[in-house]
Structure 1
């Protein structure tokens, strides 16, 4: 039976790759990546750097899959993502059948941890539902950007007895601050979530490109530092065409 490894490789630095992940890297002979175009080609390059550093035998190969263009949401965000996932799964199924023979091992290298805002496992579930060939899946956890953000700022994510909500910029912008959470970790923000949260009494701990040589960190009162964060986001996005950032918001409640 085919074996597929979904390997979390951490939030940007090869130093975040765990011993378990290194063992998994050395078991795989083919690595699948979705080609997102020239603007994000350095993401593929970073994956290759991880392999070159940690794989002992150089008899593996990378297989690139053209990533379908996502529909600009004419029927709503979730419907657009679901359609995109189906298209990706169809392309992935064809390459899996062609590139991984029965008894062989393939792998996907996932930024951060496969359980947190990553679609790889959903795509493999779709492939299983649609296609008849069988494969086993093994998931190797990775250091998420949430963990890396907390470490770089020296944070405990929760207040004493308090809850932590992990959400997206879109949700924060559309639904506002959740009443039950003192601390909110925000991922996948195009900027509208940050603006929606900007109010007195909120502290932010922000990080971009965590673990890389271009890492940027900002913290303070959100009203004081939001302009600096937006400037850095614009600069980094203009330089490479993309940016991956994350932040923790915390309300300052009276004692």
Structure 2
């Protein structure tokens, strides 16, 4: 039996961030599989734009609902959600075969589970896959603010907004936060922040300064980004005084 091929392609923050390597790989694919969270999913539109730029059709697959009712059982909720995605994508791959692509926002190695999902698919069916990197949100944040993510001799800790205060309590003092949601910056008024939303898009917003001085400005900037395109995906670096 001929194995289906899957290419996991990092597309950075959208069409302007697609590398030459990823563009070449995308053109070898028969179709793109993309999760559709709703009928008017704005991030699906971005993936369609990338695929159309390279002449590849998109097959939108309704994204299973994730149980968000019990934040204390986050790991189980995400695991069940991934399994539901595996079920949905397996049906498509078995029916279509050929070479399929998954277009990953940012880079597949960082706060994305496409690789985990495809690993599970490979356990269920004849499937070969490869991974190509994309420009990550922290990379672009650093470039936009013309900075290095860490001072000399100091590590940078990459985490999520959900874990931010636990990580600070554990001693982290130079923290890059992804999956920002509604950031809780309480108690961090004297820290410095370098913030960005929708990096690489025409709706991009940037704010930097002392947290106490710019917190309200960040809220306004995030609202502007969302008004322009219907979504706001932010990332920021926090550094202790």
TM-score w.r.t. structure 2 length?
0.92
C-alpha offsets along residues 140-178 of structure 1, whole Å, 9 cap, x if unaligned? 0000011000000001011101010000000014x1515
- Alpha-carbon contact 2:205-2:222 (below 8 Å) kept: no
Deviation at 1:248, TM superposition (A): 0.4
C-alpha offsets along residues 205-224 of structure 1, whole Å, 9 cap, x if unaligned? 00000000000000000110
- The match for 2:189 is 199
- Alpha-carbon contact 1:162-1:181 (below 8 Å) kept: no
* DSSP 3-state at the match of 1:38: coil
- Over the aligned positions, Cα root-mean-square deviation in angstroms equals 1.8
Query: Is 1:189 aligned with 2:180?
Result: yes
5 Å-filtered alignment, 1:48-67, equals 48-53=48-53, 55=54, 58=55, 60-67=56-63
5 Å-filtered alignment, 1:174-253, equals 175-177=166-168, 179-192=170-183, 194-196=184-186, 198-200=188-190, 202-237=191-226, 240-252=229-241
- The match for 1:73 is 69
Count of residue pairs brought into register by the alignment: 238
Give 5+ residue unaligned stretches, structure 2.
none
* DSSP 3-state at the match of 1:64: strand
CA distance in 2 between counterparts of 1:178 and 1:30 reads 46
CA distance in 1 between counterparts of 2:171 and 2:193 reads 18
- The match for 1:127 is 121
CA distance in 2 between counterparts of 1:25 and 1:231 reads 37
CA distance in 2 between counterparts of 1:203 and 1:134 reads 50
Q: Which of these residues, 85, 88, 99, is aligned with residue 88 of structure 1?
A: 85
Q: Which of these residues, 88, 107, 110, is aligned with residue 101 of structure 2?
A: 107
Deviation at 1:79, TM superposition (A): 1.3
- Alpha-carbon contact 1:163-1:181 (below 8 Å) kept: no
CA distance in 2 between counterparts of 1:111 and 1:199 reads 31
Deviation at 1:198, TM superposition (A): 2.4
Query: Is 1:15 aligned with 2:16?
Result: yes
